[in-house]
Amino acid sequence: MSESPYERGTTHFGFRDVPATEKQKLVGQVFTSVARKYDLMNDLMSLGIHRAWKRYFTATCQVKPGDRVLDLAGGTGDIAALLKPRVGANGHIVLGDINAGMLSVGRDRLTDRGLVSGLEYVQCNAEKLPFPDDSFDLVTMAFGLRNVTDKDAALREIARVLRVGGQARVLEFSEVRAEWFKPIYDFHSFKVLPKLGSLFAGDPASYQYLAESIRKHPPQEELKAMMEEAGLSRCSYVNMSGGIVAVHTGYKI
Detail the residues annotated as belonging to a binding site: 76, 97, 125-126
Distances (CA, A) of 103 to 2, 36, 98, 137, 244: 32, 11, 8, 22, 26
Detail the residues annotated as belonging to a binding site for S-adenosyl-L-methionine: 76, 97, 125-126
User: Residues near 48 by Cβ (< 8 Å), separated by ≥ 6?
Assistant: none
Cα separation, 93 vs 41, in Å, equals 25
Cα separation, 227 vs 151, in Å, equals 10
Buried b (16+ CB within 10 A) or exposed e, 40-58: ebbbbbbeeebeebbeebb
Where do the H-state alpha helices sit in 35-165? 38-46, 50-59, 78-87, 100-112, 151-161
DSSP codes, 214-233 = HHHS--HHHHHHHHHHTT-E
Q: What angle do CA 216, 220, 226 make, to 5 degrees?
A: 85
CA nearest neighbour of 99 among 62, 64, 126: 126
**Residue 94 burial by Cβ neighbours in a 10 Å radius (0-12, 13-18, 19+):** buried
Q: Other CB atoms closer than 10 Å to residue 144's CB: what's the count?
A: 26
